[in-house]
Chains A and B, each alone.
Chain A
Amino acid sequence: MAWPETIIRVLKSYRIEFINYLPDAMGERLLKLAREDSDFDLLPLAREEEGVGTVCGQMLGGRRGVLLMPTSGLGNSLNAIASLAIPYKIPLPMIIGFRGGLGEFNGSQVMMGQAMPDIFRAMRIPYFILKREDEVETVTEGFLRLTFSNEGPAALLISTQLAGWKE
């Protein structure tokens, strides 16, 4: 099974219903599958920060969502993560296409990509990087397990090693 199928299957097994998203090319691999699957309900956002709010609202209402976004979207979301998901202790699973790293062609992506791990460390946000097909299932499952037990934000990064880089 290819990585997008595996991630989608694990999301289902964790009763994730809402996919709150701002697209990027990596995320589209997941969105394509989710659109054809009646177990998922997609919410397109105008800015990723909104997605922090909508996932938190869904969780407070007792139903599960994820925030799917590119690396740049993390920058657009930081204050909401810091002042909503973290202090209110609300699970916020973020799936992020890792841009600005290995193989990046666009110089304007690099700063955010290089800063991202330090931002996660500074905010004590657990993060995991998917690099190989054979670890996708375990890492995705472990990421969700931790997000719900920790009741806070956590990130699953899809690397270019796994998904390929943009030409």
Chain B
Amino acid sequence: MINMLEATKILVARLSDDDLVVGGLGNPKFNLFQAKDRPRNLYLWNAMGMASSVGLGLAMARPENRVVVLQGDGSLLMNLGSLATEAWRAPRNLIHICWDNRMYELTGKQPTASAGTADLARIAEGAGFEKVARAETLPAFEASLERALAEDGPWFIHALVDDQRAAREYPPKSPTFIKHRFMSDLGAEI
């Protein structure tokens, strides 16, 4: 099985400084920070489920930048409709990665529906994603990532990860610091 931190390190090493990464609440955000803190990491404290929608908005606003969404299975299940919205809009620059540990790890490892009957990759296909990759091992994840970085998206990568908790080195906690650092690195003004 894949370890989320190891896979996140591989991902971040393959990105360019221009790429935008949205780290959803839970382990995805902690592991993103631990793998590499960079100004274009948008850490979402709370706002469970919103990573995929924020990523879609970013992909629409910045077609010249690649946008990578890192989201846990529990968070994706809370916002399943976003898969339909993303697939319909189909931004070519969007890569949506779901780290599926089949649990709400942070709150005590309670099972999610993907521990039961839900197949998130098939749900993404059903929502209309044409490019869906499944990875159960680190080499398979690397291979899917290579394709997703080379071919137009939107991509949905479903990665089965172990139940290990990220070391809790906190990313910056101030939401406005995260926002200003992200936007000024992008040269974005509203």
Contact = CB atoms under 8 A, between A and B. Distances in A.
A52 B85 CA distance: 13
Nearest to A148: B190
Contacts of A56: 50, 54, 57
8 contacts: A50-B85, A56-B57, A57-B54, A60-B183, A79-B48, A83-B48, A84-B47, A89-B179
Contacts of B186: 60-62
Given A43-B85, A49-B49, A50-B53, A57 B58 contact: yes
Interface in B40-99: 42, 44-62, 65, 79, 81-82, 84-85, 88-89
Contact of B179 (A18, A58, A60, A83): A60
Given A57-B54, A57-B56, A80-B50, A63 B61 contact: yes
A79 B47 CA distance: 7
Contacts of A44: 85, 88
Given A18-B60, A61-B57, A88-B179, A50 B190 contact: no
A54 B183 CA distance: 16
A46 B57 contact: no
Contacts of A65: 57
Interface residues of B, number: 41
A53 B176 contact: no
Nearest to B179: A88
Given A55-B57, A57-B61, A46 B50 contact: no
Given A52-B50, A64-B190, A46 B85 contact: yes
B179 A54 contact: no
**Interface size, A (range):** 35 or more
Contacts of A43: 60, 85, 89
Interface of A: 18, 20, 41, 43-47, 49-65, 79-80, 83-84, 87-91, 148
B175 interface: yes
Given A46-B84, A50-B81, A88-B179, A61 B55 contact: no
B166 interface: no
B13 interface: no
Contact of B55 (A49, A57, A83, A91): A57
Given A57-B58, A60-B54, A62-B186, A84 B82 contact: no
Given A18-B61, A57-B60, 13 more contacts: A44-B85, A46-B82, A50-B56, A52-B50, A54-B57, A56-B54, A60-B42, A60-B58, A61-B62, A80-B49, A83-B45, A88-B175, A90-B179
B88 to A, nearest CB: 7
